[in-house]
Amino acid sequence: MSDWLKFVIALAAALVLMLAFRALAFTVYTVDGKGLQPLYIDGDRLLVNRWSYGLRVDGNGMLPYSRMLRKPVSKGDIVVFDLPGDSIEGEFIARCKAVPGDTVRTKGGMMVVPGLKDCADADYYWLESIHPKNPVDSRNLGFISERNIIGRVVCILYSHDDSKNILEGYRKERMLK
């Protein structure tokens, strides 16, 4: 086998491994908005552990939803989640304020977070952003299913002010926090 073919095969294998690692283990999400200020600010790039609650298998209708090596979300965890269907596009960040079985006090009275433990059905969580006017959290959407939780935020990988050029906009004080 020629040297260039070995190089191409090694490069392709490295690319496949990198894509698998990114898709299954860690992903980087960019904060776009003020939902978790002052903890996270616009332009922060967050490292998200996709395995923190087990491997999420969602076959988009072809396979049933499941989580392998399932672990529950804990109160206080900051998570990335998406919403089912086409109600609102994108991924969102919020802090878990209540887990299945907790009582939540809202303007409409008291509610108990629903959930079936040790069951294939998804549990539900009450997720809130820190900023009170953020429309994408449980105060406006209701309970968020475990099925929609992508993973736990590990740290701020780096932060960049997108209004500045690529070399000047980095916020060194926010790296790896």
Residue 14, SS3 per DSSP: helix
Express each pLDDT in 77-91 by its tens digit: 999 998 866 667 788
Mean pLDDT of 54-69: 72
Q: For residues 35 and 92, is the Cβ–Cβ distance under 8 A?
A: yes
Mind listing the domains of the chain with CATH numbers?
26-174 (2.10.109.10)
Render pLDDT for 96-128 as a digit per residue (tens, 0 to 9): 988 887 888 777 666 677 765 554 455 888 898
Overall average pLDDT of the 14-42 stretch: 80
Query: Cα 49 vs. chain centroid, distance in angstroms?
Result: 8
Strands 103-106 and 66-68 come out as unpaired
pLDDT, mean over the chain: 80
pLDDT category at 130 given cuts 50, 70, 90 is: confident
**Positive or negative: CA dihedral 30, 39, 97, 129:** negative
pLDDT for 61: 65
Q: What's the pLDDT at 115? A: 67
5 CB neighbour count, 10 Å cutoff: 9
**Who wins on pLDDT, 60 or 173?**
173
